[in-house]
């Protein structure tokens, strides 16, 4: 599949590399490719600067959001939550129509410090915002409830014995995304229902952040025991 991954932080490159390893053609979309490659600071989670990562992954092209989306069958939104609507707007509605948007971002609001709160929250979600903004696209919320390392290597935590959720209005889009999740090694894929159920999975973030603090690392995930 031709896949565009939006976002050059910790999550986007990790997912891009994992999808390439599965045999997909992957490009990374960013607002300004030259500016992204010129960044020298480490990533927010202590990762290497993007240019270094990119040099180590020469098969993954970096381009604009619009160019990346134009050639893609499926778009992974791994931008910061506050940057998601601007990124998809920059991609262009015509480049999103009919396509699956796998939304793995969280609407974290750091305006009041750490730990962040969420915005939107409770009666709305980022997933719904994106679906409303691009009604011809098919948004599927998923993977936003775990660390990037667990997204792409679920076996690294408890032998893969944990859960991932999908939320979306389009059954075919959820099936495509669920196929990718299974290929990544996710075994317990729970379809919660339509895109409004993204409220629930985005609202897992606050306890995720507190668990990160209490456990001292991000090598954990939610399992729905039943």
| Residues within the interface to a second copy (CB under 8 A) | 112, 117-118, 121-123, 157-158, 161-162, 165, 190-193, 197, 199-201, 203-204, 206-211, 213-215, 219-226
DSSP 8-state assignment for residue 2? E
The CB-of-80 to a second copy minimum distance in angstroms stands at 18
Task: Give the C-alpha distances (Å, rounded to integers) separating 156 from 148, 152, 159, 166.
Answer: 11, 9, 6, 21
What is the rounded distance in angstroms from the CA atom of residue 185 to the CA atom of residue 125? Answer: 27
CB closer to a second copy, 20 vs 211: 211
The CB-of-86 to a second copy minimum distance in angstroms stands at 23
CB closer to a second copy, 22 vs 158: 158
| 142 and 125 Cβ atoms separated by less than 8 Å | no
The CB-of-190 to a second copy minimum distance in angstroms stands at 6
The CB-of-157 to a second copy minimum distance in angstroms stands at 6
**DSSP string over 152-176:** H-GGGTGGG-SEEEEEES-HHHHHH
CB closer to a second copy, 66 vs 190: 190
What is the rounded distance in angstroms from the CA atom of residue 75 to the CA atom of residue 203? Answer: 23
CB closer to a second copy, 131 vs 201: 201
């Amino acid at each position: 599949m031709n896949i565009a991954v939006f976002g050059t932080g910790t999550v986007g490159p990790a997912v891009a590399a994992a999808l390439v390893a599965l045999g997909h053609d992957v490009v990374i979309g960013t607002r300004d490719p030259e500016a992204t490659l010129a960044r020298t600071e480490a990533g927010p989670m202590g990762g290497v600067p993007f240019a270094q990562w990119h040099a180590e992954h020469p098969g993954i092209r970096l381009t604009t959001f619009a160019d990346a989306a134009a050639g893609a069958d499926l778009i992974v939104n791994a931008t910061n939550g506050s940057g998601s609507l601007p990124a998809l707007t920059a991609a262009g509605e015509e480049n999103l129509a009919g396509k699956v948007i796998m939304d793995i971002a969280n609407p974290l609001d750091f305006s009041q410090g750490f730990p962040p709160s969420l915005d939107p929250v409770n009666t709305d979600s980022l997933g719904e915002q994106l679906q409303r903004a691009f009604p011809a696209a098919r948004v599927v919320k998923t993977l936003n409830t775990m660390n990037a390392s667990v997204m792409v290597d679920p076996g690294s935590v408890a032998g893969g014995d944990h859960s991932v959720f999908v939320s979306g209005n389009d059954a075919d889009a959820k099936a495509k995304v669920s196929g990718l999740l299974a290929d990544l090694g996710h075994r317990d894929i729970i379809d919660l229902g339509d895109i409004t159920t993204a409220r629930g999975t985005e609202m897992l973030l606050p306890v995720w952040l507190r668990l990160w603090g209490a456990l001292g690392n991000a090598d954990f995930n939610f399992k729905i025991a039943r």
